[in-house]
Structure 1
């Protein structure tokens, strides 16, 4: 059962998997939101934990940064471990003035220049989107929180240090809510394998105002996102 990147034994990965980019955020979320969390993977430092949330089995497993890294872990979790629901929990940069730092963005669609799936789609301009049931449940859960929530299109970038201000301007003009680096490929893989996927992001910085969330405040703000994801998974 172990794969080249995940050492978990058969049955140690739950059908519901939350995927933060940072493996240490996976550890923090497991320790703070799951009961009886057990470390099930640490290959290459990519930590994964399985426990329960309100009696439901959940795995929280890091994805690494960027779509190629996420593609490796999501593929193995789906094809080798039977994951059926995968929810990205991470951070994003806001791209609209009405969005504030600490708000939550729920990605209905994910625009991108390129993903690891581009070789499969060739000339097809495939439009990856979230699972509607998860999306609807996440919005309902988010509205119970004392935080701003925004639902719509995001941009999944394949670079962190972007040098295309013209592209940013076009996306702002067309209503893109925020930028991150993983969701588009997660949505591609979910469509390919017939599983559920959703991206839920906390706004950690703002591309227009240049405000940024202090590192000391991030865990408190990210907690709402984790709870929204868990509630949506089992609604």
Structure 2
């Protein structure tokens, strides 16, 4: 695959694989590369948004941070798709649960991603658009989670532009519509992937329960999130 560069991604001749894992935190990308990949080589360090390519069980796979929020995720995923030819984009991140049946460390597979963002307006669609995952990746991820016995929820998540919301009733309104959890990137990723005709899936770990005011520590997150990473790597 011919490699180019953008103002945000400069691979310096290192290949970016067709399948890439996308954590928000670039240091988590570094952890995944060093812990799970064989012979990882760094392909990006622009703005400290670290990216690496290596192999997992004999298959080439890349991992790269995306930052926080849909503008950042959408920028990086667009370039990865259109400039570097990535075909399978798998977001791995954290979320805040808002349903009673969910617990800390549970895994969420985002079948759909509702949003309060206006990102979709660029497409000038004559109606409302549903942001959904690629079924092939979703099906494979669910099977992998079940085989490993991981607690997993499949459904609709909220990709919100707002972390500190002035509307104190917003979460309850989304909860009543069956939204499982809140995060900040998936809808933008799913729109970019759909428009380009490639595959995308988000796999999340519950780091907080918003309604119960439960939270994990950074140390607990580092250890517990390995389940999510194993599912994602199994899709390569």
Calculate the TM-score normalised by the size of structure 1. Answer: 0.96
1:169-208 paired onto structure 2 within 5 Å = 169-208=172-211
Provide the rounded CA distance (Å) in 2 between the counterparts of 1:118 and 1:196.
Answer: 21
Provide the rounded CA distance (Å) in 1 between the counterparts of 2:27 and 2:189.
Answer: 20
The answer as to 2:129 corresponding to 1:129 is: no
Segments of 4+ in structure 1 off by > 6 A?
Answer: none
Provide the rounded CA distance (Å) in 2 between the counterparts of 1:189 and 1:48.
Answer: 20
Alignment check: 8 A CA contact 1:10 1:81 kept = no
Partner SS for 1:164: coil
Partner SS for 2:119: coil
The answer as to 2:9 corresponding to 1:12 is: no
The answer as to 2:60 corresponding to 1:57 is: yes
Partner SS for 2:169: helix
User: What whole-Å deviation, never above 9, does each CA across 1:76-111 have from its counterpart, x for those lacking one?
Assistant: 100010000000000000010110000000000000
User: What whole-Å deviation, never above 9, does each CA across 1:37-57 have from its counterpart, x for those lacking one?
Assistant: 111100011000100010111
Q: Tell me the matched-pair count.
A: 233
Alignment check: 8 A CA contact 2:33 2:54 kept = yes
Please tell me the root mean square deviation across aligned C-alpha atoms, in Å: 1.2
Calculate the TM-score normalised by the size of structure 2. Answer: 0.95
Gaps of 5+ in 1: none
Residue 169 of structure 2: aligned partner: 166
Deviation at 1:117, TM superposition (A): 3.2
**Which has the larger displacement, 138-147 or 30-39?**
138-147
Label 1:115 to 1:30 Cα distance change in 2 as closer, same or farther (>3 A).
Answer: farther
